[in-house]
Amino acid sequence: MHSILFERRCLATSFKFFIEPLIQQAVQLYEDASAALERGDFARSDALHLECIDLFQQADGPNSLDAASVYTALADLRQNSGDLDCALDAASQANSILAVLCGDDNSGSDLHHVRIQAWVQTGAIHRQRAEYIQSEAWLQRALDLAIHHFGEDSEPASDARNELGMLYKYTAQFDKAEALYRDALAQLQGRFGDQNSSVAALYHNLGGLAHARQCFTEGEPYARKAWEINRQLLGENHPVTLADAAAYAGLLDGLERYSESERIYRQVLTEFTVLYGEEHYEIAVNLNNLANVRNACGAPMEAEVLLRRAISIKEKILGPDHPDTALSLNNLGVILREQGRPDEARRLFRRALRSFRRHLGNRHPKTELARTNLATL
């Protein structure tokens, strides 16, 4: 999980020395952009971020540190709204500014904070684009810089470890992911205790890692803890809380507690549709998961409809060759095979296998899964 709260702290630090009208206007625009984001008005928030950047650059010049920080927040917004190309463009703008500002290793702590957050954000976008080599390079640089300037137990180091752990989970380097998650969790718990959204993000990710390992009993308490913390801190219908609920439902699926998970998926889909509209990555993920539940409960025709919707959204957002798209293709192949439609299933398994091999390699569990499914035909 990723949040713009850290960017807000960075901005607040650099704002306090300024009284010029342009700076004051920029600060207000940033607050308005944040409010629009909370309402789910992504287009308005995006436009306000750009206006804010323009004012900072008018006040401080093209290489404004505050402009770089807002570009990083804009990249996060665009990533969360599903526009990965534009998210990467915003992150690249931030990195271009920071490259000019960071020629001196004696730069101030504000600059290093923004720099680390920009690199973490860039790595997160590359991960979601299935560009795993680039993602690891950015995230490792961010972690090294955080440790160098702020220490092993610092919050910037925890943030970088969390994101790097997510990358390693996706690439099935599960032991590496767990070590990073647990280090980050211990550091954040020591600093904030348990009632903190960053701590909840680590519980969420430990639950997700257990799910990837198919250790559902082990993962259920972590996912439940994340959901409980954010329900108290953020409310039932906050997007982070809803994502926690969906992750918890995924562990319930593994435990075959389908009536509970189906109820959660349907509620999450209702709320996410209000917030994001019909075609968003979170909608696709929950349609995929609900389809698997409906198939397990003996409703394959309904499951097929749900999965085709999920695939359509993922192809639009991620592309037809993305491994996340391939996962839904594989799931649809399973349903079609069970319905006695082997030719259609074979085409889907082959397409999924090509994507998994290309992005994840021959030995990744998802590659093995698609290869096994194809062999059954």
All structural domains of the chain, each given as residue ranges with its CATH number in brackets, are 1-173 (1.25.40.10), 193-266 (no CATH), 278-377 (1.25.40.10)
Residue 22 binned pLDDT confidence (cut-offs 50, 70, 90): confident
Q: Which two tokens stand for residue 12?
A: 């607040």
Least confident window among 69-73, 102-106, 137-141, 202-206: 102-106
Average pLDDT over residues 218-240: 97
Give Cβ neighbours of residue 237 (< 8 Å, ≥ 6 apart). 271
Average pLDDT over residues 97-111: 78
Q: What is the pLDDT of residue 115?
A: 96
Give Cβ neighbours of residue 53 (< 8 Å, ≥ 6 apart). 67, 70, 71, 74
Instruction: Please give the residue that has the higher pLDDT: either 145 or 103.
Output: 145
Closest CA to 80 of 125, 35, 39: 125
Q: What is the pLDDT of residue 2?
A: 36
Dihedral through CA 46, CA 52, CA 57, CA 63, nearest 10? Answer: -60
DSSP run (H or E) holding 256: none
Whether 12 has a pLDDT exceeding 50, the answer reads no
Q: What is the pLDDT of residue 362?
A: 95
pLDDT digits (tens, 9 = 90+) for 251-292: 999 999 999 999 999 999 999 999 999 999 999 999 999 999
Closest CA to 85 of 316, 282, 335, 337: 316
Residue 13 binned pLDDT confidence (cut-offs 50, 70, 90): very low
pLDDT digits (tens, 9 = 90+) for 160-203: 999 999 999 999 999 999 999 999 999 999 999 999 999 999 99
pLDDT digits (tens, 9 = 90+) for 288-347: 999 999 999 999 999 999 999 999 999 999 999 999 999 999 999 999 999 999 999 999
pLDDT digits (tens, 9 = 90+) for 26-72: 999 999 999 999 888 999 999 999 999 999 999 999 999 999 999 99
Is residue 71 a contact partner of residue 91, using CB atoms and an 8 Å limit? Answer: yes
pLDDT digits (tens, 9 = 90+) for 239-254: 999 999 999 999 999 9
Q: What is the pLDDT of residue 103?
A: 63
Is residue 34 a contact partner of residue 4, using CB atoms and an 8 Å limit? Answer: yes
DSSP run (H or E) holding 82: none
Between CA 257 and CA 254 the distance in angstroms is 8
Between CA 367 and CA 352 the distance in angstroms is 8
Dihedral through CA 247, CA 253, CA 258, CA 260, nearest 10? Answer: -30
Whether 18 has a pLDDT exceeding 60, the answer reads no
